[in-house]
Amino acid sequence: MKVRLAYGRHGTEWNIPDKWHTDIIEPGWTPGKPDQTQAVIDALKAPEGSPPLRELARTDSTVGIIFSDITRATPYNVIMPALLSELDHIPEKNITLFCATGTHRACTDEELAGILGRKIAGRYRIVQNIADDGSGFDDIGRTASGNSVLINRDLLACDLKILTGFIEPHFFMGFSGGGKAVMPGMASLDTIRFNHSIAMLENENARWGITEGNPVWEDMMETVGMVSGTFLLNVTMNTDKEITGVFAGDLAEAHEKGCRFAQETCMAPVEEEYDIVITSNSGYPLDLNVYQTVKGMSAAARIVRQGGVIITASECRDGIPPCSDYEKILTSASNIDELYGYIKQHEKNLQDTWQVFSQIVIQRKADVYLYSDRLDDTAIRRVLLRPVKDPESLIGELARKNGPGARICVLPEGPQTIPYVLQ
């Protein structure tokens, strides 16, 4: 059996002998909207729980449009022109585009042009969130859980804040999109660090597809609720990156509707766990680095047996990545248990403990191999993963070890499909 995995821009194909029991779990197919641009415009004209966008945006309004960074595949080539067409009564000087980098590195000029299109990137003022620049944020309150809410000052100065992005299951926030554009997208490092703390992540509800009762999501929603003048524009997509649904208007109402739609198409039940789970990280741009690839591993971990194996295909053209303490944290310990003690002890002084914590949870359940033709074996081992150059041979070897009843599952699109074991 040949299986094609989303990998980089072009994919990779592996062969699994037919003698092994292999299941393929892919996202349910939903056709794209016949007229993608018009679907966005229609949603902006008839939003959920809100007046039309054109009515909200007065001629003298200052407008901030938050957009996703290079690690997200949001189709801004469709979204942004449609959105700006509904704001054509606003002077261009009154519109600022905000890149929701959260704690990620800033996008290059070339990447911004690729995300937005050169014409738009060259026409409007662009502000990128620099989470560790303490001077760029205003403190607007404290959440019930004790999080001090510091949000980008330039964004807060806008009369109308338009939150864009796409909705899919998220490995500890429940679902992406929604308020994530503001927190973590446009928040300070301290605010993000509190929300993404180990204490939050250890809660059993901080998982894929769960919002209500998820302390990470609830703290995020309370944080964003302190920001006035928000309007949501989110989409869902199929594996061809076509828009399948548009959800605009009131943040809570529109996002909830989008989450219900995403859950129907992106989450798949299985009868029992597998010995070996093969996954990707959905290809470019989601598999830019190892840091992002933890999401694909996390999807696989939901259905691998204790002591099983996860094999992840991720190009990682951006490395571990740079501009992050993720690699520094991982290289501070020689094994997973030691690593857990390290991040618990030093959490207040570290940036990316949430991704490391998620990796620890996964690796306490299964052995994790990484296939990448951009990283050498030393780099992969440095982040406590096992390198593999010949995945087909490894699959055969592992299947033989598990005997004739070996169960293998493949997630060709990685976290675009979130499997779960039926209880």
> Tens of pLDDT along 221-240?
999 999 999 999 999 999 88
Residues 6+ apart with CB under 8 A from 304: 273, 274, 275, 276, 277, 310, 365, 366
* pLDDT tens string 9-24: 999 999 998 889 999 9
Q: How confident is the model at residue 136 (pLDDT cuts 50, 70, 90)?
A: very high
* pLDDT tens string 47-92: 999 999 999 999 999 999 999 999 888 999 999 999 999 999 999 9
CA distances from 241 to 98, 137, 235, 315, 406 (A): 22, 34, 11, 19, 34
Whether 104 is catalytic: yes
**For 2-27+271-421, which CATH class?**
alpha beta
* pLDDT tens string 301-340: 999 999 999 999 999 999 998 667 899 999 999 999 999 9
Q: How confident is the model at residue 267 (pLDDT cuts 50, 70, 90)?
A: confident
pLDDT for the residue 416: 87
Q: How confident is the model at residue 110 (pLDDT cuts 50, 70, 90)?
A: very high
b/e sequence 69-82, b meaning 16+ C-beta within 10 Å: bbbbbbbbebbbbb
Average pLDDT, the chain: 95
Annotated catalytic residue, options 170, 196, 255, 346:
170
Whether 196 is catalytic: no
CA angle 87, 90, 95 (to 5 degrees): 85
Annotated catalytic residue, options 10, 21, 89, 104:
104
pTM: 0.87
- Is the pLDDT score of 278 beyond 80? yes
pLDDT for the residue 57: 96
pLDDT for the residue 323: 64
Residues 6+ apart with CB under 8 A from 328: none
Q: How confident is the model at residue 356 (pLDDT cuts 50, 70, 90)?
A: very high
Topology adopted by domain 36-265: Rossmann fold (3.40.50)
Cα–Cα dist 94/158, whole Å:
9
How is the chain split into domains, by residue range? 2-27+271-421, 36-265
